[in-house]
Amino acid sequence: MKLRFTAAFAALLLIATTFSFVDTAQQTTTSSTPLSVPTGPRKDSIVRGLSYTSFVALTPLDSVQAKFQPSMWDLWKNKKWSALETMVNDNKLNGGYPPASGFVSVSIVKLKPNTKLDRYGSLWGTFVAPQGASFGSRALPQSSKNSIYYQFKVLKEIPNVKAGKAIPWFGEPGMGMQYQFNDKINTLITNKYLIVTDSVLPPKN
């Protein structure tokens, strides 16, 4: 009788141990699952003229750096400019420039004939500002002061131009209006959309 009881108890103990192991394994699997699920962008709503998808398109990062894009989007969306610049600089993202092509918000406009514009930098660029805008309002790096300064006049209407205020960056207050063309400025000059009205060489050191 004692031997039979001992054998039965051992069998029950083996079954209980097996179920305990299975239950523990299931709990371990369940608790680790959320850690392996990537946290992608939230609902792709429009924020100040941009969706998350268009934000990413204006902020191209390589496959390794792409993991920062959801966090950059959140900071941009909430206008946390200082924290956003710190993230960009600490992780060497986007060449140190602000995401979303430096726009606080984006709208698509047409530039009418006789509109006066200017820029610091070569004619191979795509950005301009209203003529006479302060340097600080453009939120450019200080090195831009060592570039040629150009003034332009629009000769014929230029469609599909991105327009919006500049993100505060590079220690500058920003918030001035900036425009981004789809074509390089020299192409617009060649096709007689723009004409250079003046240019100033940078000061010599």
Q: Is residue 158 part of a domain?
A: yes
**Would residue 119 show up in a list of annotated catalytic residues for this protein?**
yes
Q: At 20, give phi and psi (nearest 5°).
A: -65, -40
pLDDT score recorded for residue 203:
82
Q: Is residue 159 part of a domain?
A: yes
Q: How many domains does the chain have?
A: 2
**Would residue 178 show up in a list of annotated catalytic residues for this protein?**
yes
Per DSSP, the residues of 24-58 read HHHHHHHHHHHHHS---------BTTB-HHHHHHH
Q: Is residue 121 part of a domain?
A: yes
Catalytic: which of 4, 131, 138, 178? 178
Q: Is residue 19 part of a domain?
A: no
Whether the CA torsion 157, 159, 165, 168 is positive or negative: it is: negative
Residues of the chain with pLDDT under 70: 1-43, 205
Cα-based distances in Å from 170 to 89, 91, 118, 187 = 10, 16, 20, 29
**120 and 195, same domain (yes or no):** yes
Q: Is residue 148 part of a domain?
A: yes
pLDDT score recorded for residue 205:
66
Report which of 35, 49, 29, 186 is spatially closest to residue 119, judged by C-alpha positions. 186
pLDDT score recorded for residue 42:
57
Q: Over the stretch 46-60, which tens digit does the pLDDT of each residue have? A: 999 999 999 999 998
**83 and 152, same domain (yes or no):** no
Catalytic: which of 26, 27, 42, 119? 119
**146 and 194, same domain (yes or no):** yes
